[in-house]
Structure 1
Amino acid sequence: MGLASGSSAIVFDGIYSVVDSGMTLLALLVSHLILRATSAGRAGRRLGERFNMGLWHLEPLVVLVDGFLLVAIAIYAFVNGVKGILAGGQAVELGPALVYAAVTLVVCVTMAVFGRLRNRVLVSDLVALDTKGWIMSGGVTAALLIAFAIARPLRGSDWEWFVPYVDPLALSVVALAILPVPLRELAQAVREVLLVTPAALRAEVDGVAARVTREQGFLGYRAYVAEFGKATQIELYFLVPPGAPPRPLEHWDALRDAVGAAIGGDERHRWLTVAFTADPEWAE
C-alpha cells in the first residue's frame, strides 16, 4: 500500500509492523518455553534436564534483538524523512493512504488490548514489550491518519504547496517520537545481558544479609545478584567465625529458608544460593 500510494511514511509503518509482528511470534514462543520449563509436567522435566540453569536468559536476548532492530529502523526512517524534505517533498495518493491508516489503526488497537489482557496471566516482560510495540504502531498510524486527513483538504487551496511535504515531515516526526521507547528497552536488555547488578535488588539483598549477619554473629557476607527478564539470580555467602561450635544441618537449612523467605519473590523465577563458610576465599 505504501508503494501504491507513494508514501514513505506508510512504507516505514509497514516495515516497522512486520518486524514487530515477527518479534511477537518469537516472544510468544520464548514465553511458552519458559512456562513449560517451570511447570511440573513431563515437558517441564525434559526441558529442565536439557537446560539446567533455566531459560530465563532468552528473554533479554529477544528484547535486545527487538530493540536493536526497531532503533535501526526508526533512525533510518528519520534520515530518509529529512532527505525527503530537503528534496522538495513527495507526491502521495491520499485516498489509499487514508484507508490503510484507518484499517491498520483498528488492528493495532485490537492487538494492544489483547496483549494486555493476555499478559495478566503470563506476566511476561516479552509480552509487555510486544504490547508496547503495538501501542507504538498504533500511535504511528494515528499520526499518519491525522496528517493525511489534514493534507487532503489543502489540495486546491493556497496551501497546496505544503502537501508534498506532509509525508516526509510525518515520517521524520513519527520516527523521532517513537525512538526513545525502543532505546529504553534496548538499554535495559543490554544491562541484563551483561549481568549489570540491579541497584534496587542489591539493596534489598544487602538489607537481609546484614540483618542475618548481626543476628547470627557472623563475621560478614558476600552478595552477588543479577536480574534477567523476570528471573533473579542471588548468591549469598556468610562468613562464619573459625572454630565456631558445630550445628546440625537442619539448623543451616532452616536459616536458608529464613533468608529465602526474607528476600521473597517468585521461587519459580528465582535462583537462590545460600552458603556458609569460614574461609573468605570461598566467598570471593
Structure 2
Amino acid sequence: MKTEKNVLMLSAAGGLFFAVLGLTWGIIIQSSMIMFDGLYSLISLFISILAICISNFIQKKDFEKFPFGKGIIEPITVAFQSIVLFVMCSLSLLNGIKELVSGGNSINTGLALGYSIISSIGCTFVYLLMKKKGKRLSSDIIRAESNQWLMDTILSVAVFAGFIISVILGLTSFAYLTRYVDSLMVIITSAVFIKLPVKTLIRSFKEIVNSTASKEINDKIYTIVKNIEDEYKFENSVTRVSKIGRELRIEIDFVFNSNSILNELEEMDKVREQVSTNMKGIKLEKWLNVNFTGDRKWAV
C-alpha cells in the first residue's frame, strides 16, 4: 500500500531529524535528558526503517508461498519494536539513577529550553498526522509508529516543563538543586515510558498466539451472525474471530435442523454474501469462512 509506505517514510524522516538534533544538542550542553530524547528518536528511526521493509513484504502478492497470508508478521514486528523500546527505557532509567546518585550535572537551561520548544512542536505535528493516517489505513504498524511519536511528544513536553522548573529553581535559594533536575527527568520519563511498550507487547503476543479479537469487534460479528441464524431458522451457530495484524480471521458455522429454510447451494452463497456485506463497517482485511452443517460436532 503506497500510502502506508509514504506515512512510514515521513516517520523515518522525522526520526532522523530529531535523532540528529537531540544527540547533537544533548552532547553540546551535556544534558542526559536531551540525549535520551535523541536516542529515542534514533531507535524510532531504525524501527521505522524496519516497518517500511515489513510493510513492503506484507503487501507483496505471493499467495503460492503464503497461502494463509502474512498477517502474523505484523504483530511480530510490533512486539519486536516494543521489546527494543522497553530495553532502552530500562537502561535509561538505570543510568539516570546512577547519575542522580553521583551528584547530577549542571546544564545550560536556556539552550535546553530552546531544544524542548522545537522538539515539542515538531513531535506533536508528526504524532497527530501519524494518528490520523493510522486510523484511516487500519495499520497496526502505523499505530505502533504513532505510539512512538506520542511518547516522543510527551517526552519533549516533559523536557520543556522540567527545564522551566530548573529556571525557576535557579532564581531561588534552592538553586543548588538544579543540577539534579536533568537526571530526575530521565528517571521519571523512563519509568513512565516503560508502561506503553509493555502494553503493546502484551497485545501483540495475544495476536501471535491467535487470541480472540476485541470485545467490540466480537459483539458486532456475533450480532450479525445471530440475526442471520434467526432469519434462516438455523438450530445454532458457532463463530470464531481472531485479529492478526491488519487481518481479521473469521470462521462461522451454521448448524441446520428440520426447520431451517436454507437448502440450495445458491442460497448458501447468498448467506455468505450477506455476512460479508454486513461486515463492511469493520475496517480490517477479512479472511472469512462461512460453513454449513447438519451435525454440530463439525462446528466445534
The TM-score range, normalised by the shorter chain, is 0.7 to 0.9
Map 1:235-274 → 2, pairs under 5 A:
235-241=251-257, 247-265=263-281, 269-274=285-290
Report the secondary structure of 2:49's partner residue.
helix
Question: CA contact under 8 A between 2:218 and 2:241: conserved in structure 1?
Answer: yes
- Which residue number in structure 2 is paired with residue 20 of structure 1? 44
Deviation of 1:15 (Å): 1.9
**Counterparts in 2 of 1:267 and 1:88: CA distance versus 1, 3 Å:** closer
Structure 2's unaligned 5+ residue stretches are 1-23
Report the secondary structure of 1:223's partner residue.
strand
**Counterparts in 2 of 1:168 and 1:236: CA distance versus 1, 3 Å:** same
Residue 235 of structure 2 is aligned with which of 219, 229, 232?
Answer: 219
Task: Report Cα offsets for 1:178-205 as digits up to 9, x if no partner.
Answer: 3333333222222222222133333333
The worse-fitting range, judged by mean Cα deviation, of 150-159 and 160-169 is 150-159
- Which residue number in structure 2 is paired with residue 42 of structure 1? none
- Which residue number in structure 2 is paired with residue 79 of structure 1? 94
Deviation of 1:230 (Å): 3.0
Whole-Å Cα distance in 1 between the matches of residues 284 and 154 of structure 2?
36
- Which residue number in structure 1 is paired with residue 13 of structure 2? none
Quick check: 1:10 aligned with 2:26? no
Residue 135 of structure 1 is aligned with which of 132, 143, 150?
Answer: 150
Quick check: 1:206 aligned with 2:230? no
Report the secondary structure of 2:62's partner residue.
helix
Task: Report Cα offsets for 1:88-125 as digits up to 9, x if no partner.
Answer: 32333546544544444454244334434644653423
The worse-fitting range, judged by mean Cα deviation, of 93-102 and 165-174 is 93-102
Whole-Å Cα distance in 2 between the matches of residues 207 and 166 of structure 1?
54
Quick check: 1:174 aligned with 2:194? no
Q: Which amino acid aligns with 1:50?
A: K
Q: Which has the higher contact order (CA 8 A, sep 6+)?
A: 1
Percent of aligned pairs with the same residue? 25
Whole-Å Cα distance in 2 between the matches of residues 61 and 275 of structure 1?
30
**Counterparts in 2 of 1:256 and 1:64: CA distance versus 1, 3 Å:** same
Deviation of 1:269 (Å): 0.5
Moved over 6 A (4+): 242-246
Question: CA contact under 8 A between 1:151 and 1:166: conserved in structure 2?
Answer: yes
- Which residue number in structure 2 is paired with residue 146 of structure 1? 161
Task: Report Cα offsets for 1:191-236 as digits up to 9, x if no partner.
Answer: 2222221333333333333333333232222211101233211101
TM-score scaled by structure 2? 0.77
**Counterparts in 2 of 1:70 and 1:205: CA distance versus 1, 3 Å:** same
Question: CA contact under 8 A between 2:31 and 2:107: conserved in structure 1?
Answer: yes
Deviation of 1:237 (Å): 1.1
Deviation of 1:256 (Å): 1.5
Say what the alpha-carbon RMSD is for the aligned residues.
3.1
